[in-house]
Amino acid sequence: MSRQIYDFCPMSRPRYLFDTMHPLMQLLFLGALSIVSAGLFAALGFALVRPLFGITNLEDVIRAFTTQPDEVAKNPGELNALKLLQLLASIGAFLLPALFFAQRKFPVGDYLKLKIVPRFSLLLLAIAILFLSTPLVQFTYELNQKLSLPAFMGDLEKEIRSSEDASEKLMLLFLKMPGPIDLLFNLLVIAVIPAIGEELMFRGCIQQVINEWINKEHAAVWISAAIFSFIHFEFYGFIPRLLLGALLGYLFLWSGNLWTPIAAHALNNGVQVILIYLHDHGMIAFDINSNDPIPIIIVLICTVLTAAGVYMYQRKCELHKFIY
């Protein structure tokens, strides 16, 4: 029996744990579950780094990466320990809580819309849309960097910038890849696991629960995108991440298939990691980390192409609706 038939026959629809709760309570429970799970996986990470990497005081390593990042970079064991913590954080905070939550929602086993493989043409178009949007996202990032808080919040602004500078230093450390094994590990830590975990959580769970609550699909996309951006705690990257989150939300909304945003998200992150590796090893001249501003004409052209791609994607999804 289809989901649509159940919707019109509420007495015949199965009741699962979270279906009996108000959507707001579902979101609060999901948030609490994420925090508890993240804490448990952080403890697991702290327990593993000593036998795996011979690190006895992880707190000193974490402190050192903000004050002496070059020294941490010279020690592969310390760097890999930080990567392991990041990997476990993605699993604990997003991936497992989302799976646990989804298994207790209707339709059980397919709440996350993962059972059907998406059409290749739609998948390819979704990936192209995300890549075409890169100049616009980068442009909004440059604008976001120029924003300042009011004068009376000067101390807070300094704290925010200091925190984001530390995060940037950590990412630059992660992106130092001496060999192909480091590249593969980075693809797992930066591209594959975060894409799966974040899409399961923010598009698969949060976006659907918000829509269940307010019954407004577009608002649900943007609210979940705002939560997605906020949870990264990067004020000066909030707007570009909001746009990316909304784009991924629409890829899911229109296709009804979570594999589409997962693949687009993973490839978007993965290609950046690969380009950095190729540049650092002298295989290509293009430097993705260059601070040179993107010409406005390129931004405009890619924005128009992105809009055209989004329109085509929506029309294709309407013509090839997935059946669950």
Reported as a single tens digit per residue, the pLDDT across 251-286 is 999 999 999 999 999 999 999 999 999 999 999 988
Structure pTM? 0.88
Q: Residue written as tokens 């000593």?
A: 50
CB 216 within 8 Å of CB 233: no
In the block, residue with structure tokens 């905070």: 93
pLDDT at 158: 80
Q: What percent of the chain has pLDDT over 90?
A: 59
* Cα(170)–Cα(107) distance, integer angstroms: 40
Angstrom distance (rounded) from CA 134 to CA 40: 35
Amino acid code (one letter) for 268? N
Of 49, 240, 232, 66, which is closest to residue 140 (Cα–Cα)?
240
Residue 108's pLDDT is 64
Please state the separation of Cα 64 from the chain's center in Å.
Answer: 27
Residue 267 near residue 132, CB atoms below 8 Å: no
Average pLDDT over residues 55-80: 73
